[in-house]
Amino acid sequence: MSTVSETSIRPVRRVLFRGRTATYHVIARTAGQAMLFGPEEKEMFRRQMRAVALFCGIRVVTFCIMGNHVHLLVEVPSERPDLADGELLRRSAALYGGRERSRHALRLETIERALAEGDEPRERMRAMLLGRMCDLSMFAKLLQQRYSIWYNRTHERHGTLWSGRFKSVLVEGKGLPVAVVAAYIDLNAVRAGIVDDPLDYRWCGFAEAAAGLRAAKDGICRIDGGSDTTKALARYGVLLYAKGTAPGRDKPTDATIPEELWREARERYGTLTPFASLRQRVRYMTAGAILGSSLFIEEWFCRHQSAFPKRISGPRKLRGGDWGSLRTFRDLRKDVCSDK
């Protein structure tokens, strides 16, 4: 794992923003790009994702589970909370109270017993549990490990399931940057030609929110920046369908949302959106290291400038179109396509 420190970090694979709430686009792929996710597997991953997120105190803004990879847009709090024992037990029940156990996993009864004993056993258990919260790497590790255990056991399989560690891009968590990345994620099944309408793909955040799932609706509100879930879903829906009608700039052969669905979406959600003319630039969503405004990227760069002695500034323009105020940290010069 390559994270940012005060030492050299080339090449940049993962950047973290310490000391403040941060949003990340997380990508994980199966080993050898094997198509291991069918309907049952996608549903289990979705359930485990929600359980691990609840335990870790991390918000899933949106997501998409495909046949051989997953995309998650997650918001990580700036610091670990000092939770009461009752809340620790509630979160632990989501993760350790089910039947998907391994011989190495904690058990809920073990946690309850340690917290009830008091003094040193209680403090050790609290430190262990709190140490697993509000941390992007721990969230991804727990999710990948738990899903691998379930998958291998269910399919009588052995060996690694994932193609190495997860990859992540730091995203400015408000306005245009987070909206563009969220739409990129929710349109994955459309681009792959699996469905014409993102509402028809049950394993993405937009479809879950439209179906009324509370956690998914809260995620859409984070994209929109408002508190009214109905209005937030409408505004995000306009952006999503507008972007979906045009092919990605890096992959012009990608499938698009049919024009008649776009007309229906305008009738359903309205027409107000400042982002309707945007086109996708796939590589910036998955390989740009940081995506956001100049101010956001420069703030991060100033904290870690010693790791980049040859650079005098952080933000770089996105190539291949008018992206307005959006900037990236990594200057992707070659026009190389990236898988969804």
pLDDT digits (tens, 9 = 90+) for 317-339: 877 666 667 888 887 764 443 44
Q: How far is CA 157 from CA 16, 73, 163, in A?
A: 34, 29, 16
Tokens 């946690």 map to which residue? 111
Threshold 0.85, pTM exceeds: no
Could you tell me where the DSSP H helices lie in 37-135?
39-56, 85-96, 108-117, 119-130
What is residue 13's predicted lDDT score, i.e. its pLDDT? 53
Which tokens sit at 52?
């691990």
For the chain, residues with pLDDT lower than 70 are 1-19, 98-105, 247-253, 271-288, 320-324, 333-340
Q: At 23, which amino acid appears?
A: T
Could you tell me if 3 and 16 are in contact, meaning their C-beta atoms sit under 8 angstroms apart?
yes
- Check: CB of residue 291 under 8 Å from CB of residue 285: yes
Given a contact cutoff of 8 angstroms between Cβ atoms, the answer to whether 289 and 15 are in contact is yes
- Round to whole Å and give the CA distance between 184 and 282: 8
Token pair belonging to 284: 């910036």
Backbone angles phi, psi at 28, to 5 degrees: -135, 135
Task: Say what the pLDDT of residue 280 is.
Answer: 46
Q: Are 212 and 231 in contact (CB under 8 A)?
A: no
pLDDT of residue 17: 64
What is the amino acid identity at position 154?
T
Question: What is the pLDDT at residue 2?
Answer: 38
Note whether 136 and 24 are within 8 A (CB).
yes
Q: What's the pLDDT at 14? A: 59
| CA–CA dist 72, 195 (Å, integer) | 19
In SS3 terms, 141-158 reads as HHHHHHHHHHHHHHCCCC
71: helix, strand or coil: strand
Q: Considering only CA atoms, give the Rg of the chain.
A: 20
Amino acid at 272: L
Distance CA 224, CA 105 (A): 37
Work out the number of other CB atoms within 10 angstroms of the CB of residue 109. 10
Residue 258: is the preceding peptide bond cis (ω within 30°)? no
Structure tokens belonging to residue 81: 């909370």
pLDDT for 1: 38
Place of tokens 């995506």: 291
- What local confidence, expressed as pLDDT, does residue 181 receive? 92
